[in-house]
Structure formats: C-alpha cells, structure tokens
Structure 1
Amino acid sequence: MKVEGDYTCDICGESFETNVEIAGHMRSHQVSIPTETIIDELQRLAEEKGRVPKQSEIEEDTEFTKGAVRSTFGSWDEGLEAAGLEPRTNGYSDAEIIEELQRVASQIGHSPSRNEWRELGRVSANAVQTHFGSWNEGLREANLETTTQRTATKEDVIEEIQNLAAELGRPPKAQEMEQHGAWSVKVAQRCFGRWNRALRRAGFEPHKQWSVSEEQLHREIERLVDELGHVPSTIEMRDSGRYSVGSYARRYGTWQDAIEAAGFEYPGRPSGPEHPLWKGGYGDISYGPNWYRQRKRALERDGFECQMPGCPIGRETHQERWDRDLNVHHITPLGVFIDADGVLDYERANRLENLVTLCQRHHTMWEEFAPLQPDIR
C-alpha cells in the first residue's frame, strides 16, 4: 500500500514522498553494499576493538553507516548476529549477575579473579563491567572483597600472545585475546600503543583484511569528481559518497593521500574567505609567547595521547608513524580571537580548555570538518 509522507533515507539522506519510493531506494543500497561486505566489516571492527562494536563506531571506522546495517538485516542486533557476534545487550539483571558472582565465590572460597571467572562464570566478565562500571565494583555490589592484579609488563603481554598462538595454531585475534587471554586487549594497547603492534612484537603479522578494494575507493572519488565538477572534500564524501571517510583514512592515512592515490591533485583545505570561520586571516602572526608552555601543558594533561575517542595513538607511536610529535589543536580556531586590527588575543586562544591533543590523522580531519568538530572535552 502506498502511503504519502516525509520519508528520509538514513543511509544517504535523500527524501521521498511515499513509502513505496523509499522502499525501492533502500533496496538499491542493499545492492550497492553487498551483505558479505557488511558482515566482513562488522567482524573486522569487532576484531580491532576486541569486543562487539557499538553503533556509534560504525560511521567512524567502516565503509557505511549504521543505517545500512539496519536496512540490510532488519535491525542492528540482527546484523551483529549475521556476523556471528552477540548483541551488546546481555539479558542479565544486576541481581542475576550478583547472584552468579556469589555462587562462583562460594565455589572457590574467595573472590574470583577475571581469569577464574572466565573458567567458572556463566556470565561474561564484560557483562559485569558493563552493569557495574568495573570488575571490582561488581564484586563490591556482591559484598565480596575486591581483587588486585599486578600491572602487566610488555613481556607479560608478548608471552600471553605467544601462548594463545600455540594453543590456536595461529596468531590470536583481538577478540580471542579478550575472551581467553590473561590480559585484555586494552592492556596490550597500553603497553604497545595498538593491538597490531603487540602482535608484531610477539613475532606475528597482524590480521589485515580490506573488504573494499583500492580500485573501488578510487572509483568512488572519480565518480564524485565527475558529479561535483571538482575534487570532493571529506564533507562531500561523507554526504554523497558510498564509503566513509574513515575507510580512506585507514587505508591511506590522510584525505590528501587518498585523493592523490586516486590520481587527482589535492586542492588543500578551505582557507581564507573560503573557510567557514574566516575572520580576516592570520597573516604571519605567531601563536603568542605562551604557546609552547600551553602546548606542553595540554600534552601532559592528555597523557601524550590523541584524544579522539577510540584512537590509541600515543607520542611514541605518532613519532614512529609520522616522524613528528603529536599535534595540539585549537578547538575554537585562532581566527576567532583576532580583532579588527589583526591582534591575536593569545591568552584566550591558548587557554588550556581550548586545546586538545590529536594525532596527525584526526588533526587533519578536524581541520577539514571545522566548525563541525566533535566536542570531546
């Protein structure tokens, strides 16, 4: 039955006047993004994160949106199940988890460690953490003594990866480390910066899988060039492209490198009057006499790590990858603090709450997206 109304595609944003029209349109999305591709990407993201991915992470780290998952499989949870992943909702109440904690403690005669829980518990350790905030908070709620665990060294993590590899007959995936290892993926990331680097230090090559080929990524840029009449910006790729900006960033590192790999000349980020926050330009003005002190304070406050949610890049990794130190970014651009006479109010511009530490990749993305930057403070 055809019903008139205002129907908007949550994948590409196109609007339709009837439910029949949007239904046909949604089928075209299913054709353009194969089911196998979505499943592969969900599995890859789960492997990278060491857990079932959140809906909010899909648009940042995969080639499509959460709407594509829902339209293809009917719902987000059904998409996860099709990829062999358990939905994040675990179905247990706080009382049931507390009862299970107490049962295991009674069985072994003391508060269970996470490793003991993996062997004896009927609920995942992650479910305990999700419900109560941390493992020890779950123990407190169950009126059990909290447990302590020594800090893992790099050697501990390497040994555990090698032990799991011996059991599996191949290098472990992040999910397998999370589920069966003595140390979590987060511990490995804290020691080495990222999971793949931990694998390399243990003597293994990382699992790398690209579900979208370079040729497909290049063709999409070419299509937008033909359609727009110019090299697309990241915003135009996000709004009109078939693949996410994150898919290009993961493959090439920066949008400029992606554009050049597709055979086009990178036009540069908007500047001068073309920039949405243009206020007369910076000229040759410096960041002010307090810049280096404030930059150092921002780096120290942020723990010398990129503050983009989910980014594991620290100072050492950044220097290895880009041969330079981490970036300290002005959340509100300098141009906002320049008066009509061209004088920069550097004290306001460089105040600590206006600075954030970013890696090269995310600094480039933030500069391009301004003023649509996520506020992570």
Structure 2
Amino acid sequence: MSDAELLEDLRRVASNLGKTTVAQKEYRLVGLYDDSTATRRFGSWNEALKAAGLSISNVLDIGDEDLYENILTLWQHYGRQPRRRELALQPSRISQSPYLRRFQTWNAALESFVSYGNANDSGDLQTTDFSLPSKGARRTSRDPSHRLRFQVLQRDRFACCSCGASPATKAGVELHVDHVTPWSKGGETTLANLQTLCSKCNLGKGAYGEGEG
C-alpha cells in the first residue's frame, strides 16, 4: 500500500473513534494495515500521526513499544548493542530522558528490550515455517513484528547472509530483513522464511528476478 493509503486509514480510524488521535493498540483492532508498517514508513508512530494531520497526546509518556522500536532501529543500524550516547544521534528519534524515566538506567532499558525481543508473539505463527499456504490463504502479515525482526537479526549475527557485510565492521552497511521465499510467491513471514540481507544484496536479488522480499 502507498503512504497515502496508510495515512488515509489512520484518519478513517480516528474519525470512526471520534478522536483526533489514534493509539497503536486501537489501530491494531480496527485498522486495515499492520501498525508496524506505519512506524517503519514514517520513523515512528508519532511521526505517522503527524503526517496524517492527527494530534499526538502524551508525548512525554512514550510507550514501551516506541521505546523498544527505537532501540531496535539503532541495533539494526549499528549491527551491535547501541550505546546511550547514540540516542542523541540519527537514526534515533528518542532521547535518553524517556528511557531513564521509564527504566532508571540505560542498561535496564536494554535488558528489558532483549527480554521483549526474545519473547514469542502471542497468537501468531511467526516462529513456524509455513512457506506455502494452501489456496492462497495467508497465515501471517507481510511485515515482521519488532520481535521477529530482532530474532532474525540476532540469529544472523547482524550480518548479511549473502556477503557477510555488517554495520558493526563496515560503516554505511544497511541491513534489511527479507523473505527467503518472496511474499509475492506465497512465502510467509516466519523465522524460518526470513533472512538478513544488506541493501546491496537485497537490491541485487530483485534485479535477478527473485521477487521482492
């Protein structure tokens, strides 16, 4: 779906709720798309709300999911455990203050994130391999959850499965989480059907006609 479709659906949900803002939990219940798609497209849930022309409430009270998502963004960007000082640098969108208010220390925030990231997603099949669903039925959403992305990256040691490149050892490497059997060809969003690729290998995969991830 396009950015315009995502934003229009955010506005639709807000209108149906009779509100000027939408919480991620609310959107998961009645939205047409996965809330994680909006956060990745626009950088955060708050940025998606801004782009949709909706208001943002409780900015100081940032939820755990947004705090975890920011840690995941940094971990994927650096290919290693992020440092507290890196919260002040791009691509971080949250400063250290909310983490200290919520967890007291940065180490405690990291420990909480790792526990969150290694837990199973309740009610889904994302840790099981269902690569070819019968009769076109889809058992998982196209976009992996934050937990599943972390589990894939962690399993692959934050390095490209094709060429071995990692931002931890080479600046400028961008990591993607990609479907082995493409979604367009029936591949499901499962741990067994996802892999870490650098942007160059992922683009090269598409150039050779293997389909988008």
TM-score (norm 1): 0.21
TM-score (norm 2): 0.33
> Which structure is higher in RCO with an 8 Å CA cutoff and minimum separation 6?
2
Work out which of the two has the higher radius of gyration on C-alpha atoms and give 1 or 2. Answer: 1
